[in-house]
Amino acid sequence: MKVLVVGNGGREHTLAWTLLQSFNVDEVFCTPGNGGTATMSNCHNLALAVDDFAGIADAVKANQISLVVVGPEVPLSLGIVDYLRERNIAVFGPTKEGAQIESSKSWAKEIMTQANVPTAKSKTFTNAAAAKDYLRAQGAPIVVKADGLAAGKGVIVATTIEEAIAAVDLLRDNSGKLVIEEFLTGSEVSVLAVTDGKTIRPLSPAQDHKRIGEGDTGKNTGGMGAYSPVPLVTPELMTRIEQEILQPTLDILKQKKIDYCGVLYAGLMITPEGEPKVIEFNCRFGDPETQVVLPLLDTPLDEILLACVEQKLSQLPPIKTKAGSAVCIVAASGGYPDTYEKGKAIAGIAEATNKGAIVFHAGTKLEQEEILTDGGRVLGITAIGDDFEQAIASAYNAVESIQFERMYYRRDIGHKYKN
């Protein structure tokens, strides 16, 4: 079988790599892909943008591709799935309507209310003055969120009322809509669940490291590392997450006649009392969570994706995960998440791989046989160990082999597993 992966990040390299581990997948195409997908055996990049739906549909037909997997939220929210489905192309991902679970925070909040899912108390505003009055009445800390997609820059956790009020003017998007939300404390966990619209099955839980600095300090980023599973999420807690959050959400989507196929990613806060509450839903695989969740999968990924697309997930045997722990360290360009330079030569990938790590590329490109940096988050170095201590040691040992000018990575990835 041939599969096309849409996107160019670390998540997409991981999807392509995992698919190629499967006996039934002989070729993967990535559009547009990165330096890692360009150099992996049996993988080819196609120079098409993620929103070039017509080009992607043509490439699917020309290369006899059986399945399309969409990585990022932007093409999903623009309706890539609707477009491809209308042309009888099998595609893993929700329709434009379903993708609103991520592309509109107010819509997602309505779904959560209807599904009676535990989440932060919130209110949606279209009027800036009314939003500011509400903030003054509530006090800080408080969270202000842009309604639409904002590439990870749409949320301000305000510690003072002045900051919250300034956030109203900063975050109002074209729709003018804002969501103001109660501040939650606890531990954040990502649960990526796959669904065919009827049945929903969670994959191994993961924890991201969103801040640029050690000890979770400094600016928010796309994610500086991840680990999986999360010891805090016991089997009992996972059952509650399934029964109290994932299934009721899917039931409401079904009730609204939304045929949701793909990943429902629940960004959760586990409160100090041990209660899971939804911070947000995403309509896709997480990045860098995918870099630790998929290497731990024992069930072939293509079987899971096909079961979802063919609406046969209930017939798939339980999804199996390998024993052990996975840790992914992101190597970023110095200066990220602000300005940084691109085009730096990367050395040491083969050495890191020889040490047993999997080097997933994110912001890289292949130019004249050389791998160069091409983004803020450059590589994700994943290692699997019998336990977290082993996985962390092995991932850092591999990272030490990699070099590029102004390379930056956090030294404390994975350490929170004990909490």
Residues that bind ligand AMP (CB under 6 A): 120, 143, 155, 157, 181-184, 188, 210, 267, 279-280
Cα separation, 263 vs 246, whole angstroms: 11
Q: Which is nearer to ligand AMP, 69 or 179 (CB)?
A: 179
Does the footprint of ligand GLY cover residue 282 (CB under 6 A)?
yes
Partner touching 12 among ligand GLY, ligand AMP, none, CB below 5 to 8 Å by kind = none
- Encoded amino acid at 163, one letter: E
Measured CA distances, 228 to 63, 133, 238 (Å): 35, 42, 14
Number of residues that bind ligand GLY (CB under 6 A): 6
Measured CA distances, 276 to 81, 238, 379 (Å): 31, 9, 31
The distance of closest approach from Cβ of residue 208 to ligand AMP in the complex, given in angstroms and rounded to an integer, is 8
The distance of closest approach from Cβ of residue 206 to ligand GLY in the complex, given in angstroms and rounded to an integer, is 9
Partner touching 96 among ligand AMP, ligand GLY, none, CB below 5 to 8 Å by kind = none
Partner touching 289 among ligand GLY, ligand AMP, none, CB below 5 to 8 Å by kind = ligand GLY
Cα separation, 343 vs 210, whole angstroms: 25
The contact pattern for ligand GLY, residues 216-255, with x = CB under 6 A and - = no contact, is: -------x--------------------------------
Partner touching 155 among ligand GLY, ligand AMP, none, CB below 5 to 8 Å by kind = ligand AMP
The contact pattern for ligand GLY, residues 171-210, with x = CB under 6 A and - = no contact, is: -------------------------------------x--
Which tokens in the block code for residue 219?
Answer: 């600016």
- Encoded amino acid at 222, one letter: G
Parallel, antiparallel, or unpaired for β 91-92 and 67-70?
parallel
Residues 11, 14, 20, 24, CA torsion sign: negative
Integer-rounded Cα Rg, in Å, for the chain is 21
Among 202, 286, 295, 375, contact with ligand GLY (rule: CB under 6 A)? 286
Partner touching 157 among ligand AMP, ligand GLY, none, CB below 5 to 8 Å by kind = ligand AMP
Partner touching 287 among ligand GLY, ligand AMP, none, CB below 5 to 8 Å by kind = ligand GLY
Q: Phi-psi category of 64—alpha, beta or left, where left has phi over 0 and alpha has psi -120 to 50?
A: left
Does the footprint of ligand GLY cover residue 382 (CB under 6 A)?
no
The distance of closest approach from Cβ of residue 183 to ligand AMP in the complex, given in angstroms and rounded to an integer, is 5
Which residues are within 8 A (CB) of 96 and not within 5 positions of it... i.e. 6 or more apart? 76, 77, 78, 79, 81, 82
3-state helix, strand, coil in the chain (%, to 5): 35, 30, 40
Biggest CA-to-CA distance, the chain: 60
The distance of closest approach from Cβ of residue 104 to ligand AMP in the complex, given in angstroms and rounded to an integer, is 12
Place of tokens 């990049």: 45
Where do contacts with ligand GLY occur on this chain (CB under 6 A)?
208, 223, 282, 286-287, 289
